[in-house]
Amino acid sequence: MAKSSKKSKPAKEQAGSKSLTQSGAPKAAKSGSAVMVIDGKSGPGAFAGPARVIIIGAGVGGLTLALMLHQRGISCQIYEQASAISPIGAGINVLPHAIRELADLGLIGTLDKVGVRTTELFYMNRIGQIVWREPRGIAAGFEVPQYSIHRGRLQKALYDTVIERLGPGAVVTGRKLAGFIQDEGGVTAHLVDSVDGSGSMTVRGEVLVGADGIHSAVRAHYYPKQGLPSWNGIQMWRGVADFPAFLDGQSMIIAGGMAAKFVLYPIAPGETPETRLTNWVVNVRVSDTPHPPGKESWSRRGRLDEVLPYARRFEVPGFDLVSLIKSTDAFYEYPMCDRDPLPRWTHGRITLLGDAAHPMYPVGSNGAGQAILDARMLADRLKKAEHPYQALLEYEEDRLPKTAEVVALNRKGGPERVIDEVEKREPAGFTDVERVLSYDERRAIVRGYAGKAGYALQQVNKKAV
Ligand SMILES: Cc1cc2nc3c(=O)[nH]c(=O)nc-3n(C[C@H](O)[C@H](O)[C@H](O)COP(=O)(O)OP(=O)(O)OC[C@H]3O[C@@H](n4cnc5c(N)ncnc54)[C@H](O)[C@@H]3O)c2cc1C
C-alpha cells in the first residue's frame, strides 16, 4: 500500500474488498459488492477493446486523462453513461495550476474561444465591503491565464479535442459501468446500456480508472459502506444569464462567508458588446442535518420564491443581483456535499480520479483543477513505471495526501475563509478592514490556501523555467 494512506485522514468508509493479495492484486473471483459482479456473458455489441486504459466517465477528469495518455502514446477508451456530451451546467473557474497542464496539451486557443480570461478577484462581506482583492491569471504574473468558463462548454471542448485526436470511437456514450474484475493480466469491465440495462458489453484493458464523479460506482465497489455524500446543510442555487457587464467585464466577486455567499463572474461574451453571459451562485445554510436531500434534488430546477429572499440579503454596490436572478431562464439547486478522504484509491490495476477520488466543497475553485492535476500525474506515472501496479500506487502516493488537504481546507471555507474571519469579528460591517484583520493575516489565509492547493505563483511558473 502507498505510504500516503498512513498520512491521510482516516475515512469513515470501510474498505469493502477483502480480496487483495499481498502484491495488491485482487483475486479475480472475489468481488466486494454484489452489484458489481460480472455475469460472464458478452451480448450483442461485445467488444474486446485492446486499449491499455479503460476510463469510466467523460467529465473534465476523464477527458483530460484521455488527452494526456494519447500525448504519451498510451491507448485508452472512455465509457460514459450519458447519451451525449452536451454543454449543460453553469460556470467554474479553472486556475493557472490546471491551465498550465491544459496549455501543455495545446488547448489555450480552444479555451480562449469558450471562456473568459479572469483579471481580478474581489472578496467582500455580505454588504459589499472589500475584504481582499487581487489580480488573477496573467494580470497576477502567471505565465498562463485563469479562465472563468461554462463547465459544460469546457467539457464539450475537451470532448471535441478527444474525438479529433483519438478518433471518433474514443468515447463510447450511453454505456454505464455495471461491473469489473481484475486478474494478473488485466482488467475486464462490463458495461450496459444506461437507459435500460440491455446490450451487455465486455471490454479488456491493463488499467481501469474510475473518473465517474461524486456518485462513483468504482469507489462504491471498494467502499460499499460509505453511505451518502456528507452535506454541510448549504443549498446552492446556480444560474447563467445575459446581463450588463460589471467592472472590467472579466472580474469575479465572492461576497459573504460560508453560511451565506454570493458568487458572480462572466463566463462568455454576451448577446451584445455591453453584456456578458454571467454566472451567479447563491449559497445559504438551510439545514443542520448531515444527510443530503434525495438524489432527485441534486439538480432540481430552482424557484424564484425560494432564492430571492436569500438573494435580497446581499448588497454589492453597483450590481443588481435580484435583477440578474429574475432574468435567468432556468436555474438549478444542489446541496453542497463532499466525502471524507479515502485511505486508498488504488486497488491493483484499478484507481480513482477527480470527484470520484476526492469530492470537495466548491470553494477555492479547485474541484476540476485537481482532477486535471490528477490526470497529469497518472499519465506521467503510467508512461514511466515498469508495471501498472507501480504506476497507480505512485500516482496515489503523490495525489491522495495533497487532495485530502484541499478537502479539509475547503471544509473551513478555503481561501474564502478570510471573509468568514472578517464577518465573525464585524458582522455588521467595518470602516477599516485593516483594523479588523491585518493585511498579513488576510494574506496568510488567501495565499496559504493557494500554496496548499498548488497554485501559488512560484509553483505554477517554475515549471516553465
Ligand atoms: C457549484 C459548483 C461550483 C464549482 N466551481 C468550481 C470551480 O470554480 N473550479 C473548479 O475547478 N471546480 C469547480 N467545481 C467542481 C467541478 O465541477 C468538479 O470537481 C469537476 O467537474 C469534477 O470532474 P470529474 O470529471 O471528476 O467528474 P464529473 O464531472 O462528475 O464527471 C463524471 C462523469 O462520469 C459519468 N459516470 C458516472 N457514473 C458512471 C458509470 N457508472 N458509467 C459510466 N459513466 C459514468 C458521469 O455521467 C459524468 O459524465 C464546482 C462544482 C460545483 C457543484
CA of 238 to the centre of ligand 1 (A): 15
The residues, any chain, with a CB within 8 Å of residue 224's CB and separated by 6 or more, are 14, 16, 32, 33
Instruction: Write out pLDDT tens, residues 158-172.
Output: 999 999 999 999 999
Alpha-carbon gap, residue 423 to 445, rounded angstroms? 14
The Cα–Cα gap between 309 and 335 comes to: 18
- Domains defined for the chain, CATH in brackets: 4-87+154-227+340-411 (3.50.50.60), 91-148+229-338 (3.30.9.30)
pLDDT digit string, tens, across residues 222-255:
999 999 899 999 999 999 999 999 999 999 999 9
Atom of ligand 1 nearest to the CA of 60: 25
65 lines ligand 1 (CB under 6 A): no
Average pLDDT over residues 438-447: 98
Average pLDDT of the residues in 116-138 = 98
Cell numbers linked to 348? 491493483
DSSP designation for 329: S
Ligand 1 pocket: which of 77, 79, 80, 235 to mutate (most atoms within 8 A of CB): 80
Q: What is the pLDDT of residues 16-42, one digit of tens each?
A: 332 222 233 333 333 322 223 233 333
CA of 159 to the centre of ligand 1 (A): 14
Residue 12 scores a pLDDT above 70? no
Q: Give pLDDT, residue 324.
A: 97
What string of DSSP letters covers 268-326?
EE-SSTTEEEEEEEEEEE----SSPPPGGGTTEEP-HHHHHHHHTT--BTTB-HHHHHH
Cβ count within 10 A of residue 353: 31
Asked if the model's pLDDT at residue 342 lies above 70, the reply is yes
pLDDT at 50 (0 to 100): 58
What pLDDT score does 31 carry?
30
The mean pLDDT of 427-441, rounded to a whole number, is 98
What is the number of the ligand 1 atom nearest to the C-alpha of 356?
26
Percent of the chain with pLDDT over 70: 88
Residue 171 near residue 64 (C-beta atoms within 8 A):
no
Higher-pLDDT residue of 462 and 365 is 365
Distance from residue 62's CA to the centre of ligand 1 (Å): 10
With a 6 Å cutoff on the Cβ, whether 177 touches ligand 1 is: yes
Report CA(28)–ligand 1 centroid distance (Å). 30
Residue type, 463: K
Amino acid identity, position 245:
A
- Cα radius of gyration (the chain): 22
> How far is the centre of ligand 1, averaged over its atoms, from the C-alpha of 105 (Å)?
20
Q: How far apart are CA 388 and CA 384, in angstroms?
A: 10
Q: Copy the grid coordinates of residue 420.
A: 468568514
User: Across residues 127-152, what is the average pLDDT?
Assistant: 97
Residue 211 CB–ligand 1 contact under 6 Å? yes
Cα–Cα distances (Å) from 373 to 99, 149, 453, in that order, read 10, 18, 10
Atom of ligand 1 at shortest range from CA of 368: 11
Residue 375 Cα to ligand 1 midpoint, Å, equals: 14
Is the CB–ligand 1 distance for residue 238 below 6 Å?
yes
Q: What is the pLDDT of residues 175-220, one digit of tens each?
A: 999 999 999 999 999 999 999 988 889 999 999 999 999 999 999 9
Which pLDDT value is given to residue 23? 30
Given a contact cutoff of 8 angstroms between Cβ atoms, the answer to whether 61 and 211 are in contact is: yes
Q: Residue 21: what pLDDT?
A: 25
Q: How far apart are CA 254 and CA 252, in angstroms?
A: 7
Q: Which pLDDT does position 374 carry in this prediction?
A: 98
Q: How far is the CA of 40 from the centre of ligand 1 (A)?
A: 31
Q: What is the mean pLDDT of the chain?
A: 88
- Amino acid, res. 43: G
Q: Is 91 in the pocket of ligand 1 (CB under 6 A)?
A: no
Separation of alpha carbons 354 and 345, rounded Å: 11
Q: Which of 33-42, 71-80, 194-203, 318-327 comes out lowest in average pLDDT? A: 33-42
Q: Helices marked H in 167-243 — which ranges?
A: 217-222
Q: Atom 21 (ligand 1): residue with closest C-alpha?
A: 368
How far is the first Cα of the chain from the last one, in angstroms, to the nearest whole number?
A: 34
462 versus 328: the higher-pLDDT residue is: 328
pTM: 0.90
- Among protein residues, the one whose CA lies closest to atom 27 of ligand 1: 213
Task: For residue 285, count other CB atoms closer than 10 A to its CB.
Answer: 14
CB 234 near ligand 1, within 6 Å? no
Model pLDDT for residues 400-433, shown as the tens digit of each residue:
999 999 999 999 999 999 999 999 999 999 999 9
- Between the CA of 274 and the centroid of ligand 1 the distance, in Å, is 31
For the CA of 218, the nearest atom of ligand 1:
41
Residue 99 Cβ < 6 Å to ligand 1: no
Question: What is the CB neighbour count within 10 angstroms for residue 326?
Answer: 12
Confidence class for position 297, pLDDT limits 50, 70, 90: low
What's the CA gap between 248 and 266, in Å, rounded? 10
C-beta of 217 in contact with ligand 1 (< 6 A) = yes
Residue 429 corresponds to which cell in the numbers above?
460591517
Q: Which atom in ligand 1 lies closest to the alpha carbon of residue 62?
A: 25
Distance 432 CA to ligand 1 centre (A): 40
Average pLDDT of the segment spanning 455-462: 92
Query: What's the pLDDT score for residue 290?
Result: 79
Alpha helices in 91-228 (DSSP H): 96-104, 108-114, 151-166, 217-222
pLDDT at 137 over 80: yes
> What spacing in Å lies between the alpha carbon of 155 and ligand 1's midpoint?
10
Those residues with Cβ within 8 angstroms of residue 291's Cβ, 6 or more apart along the chain or in another chain: 228, 231
Instruction: Give me the pLDDT at residue 103, please.
Output: 97
Which pLDDT belongs to residue 180? 97
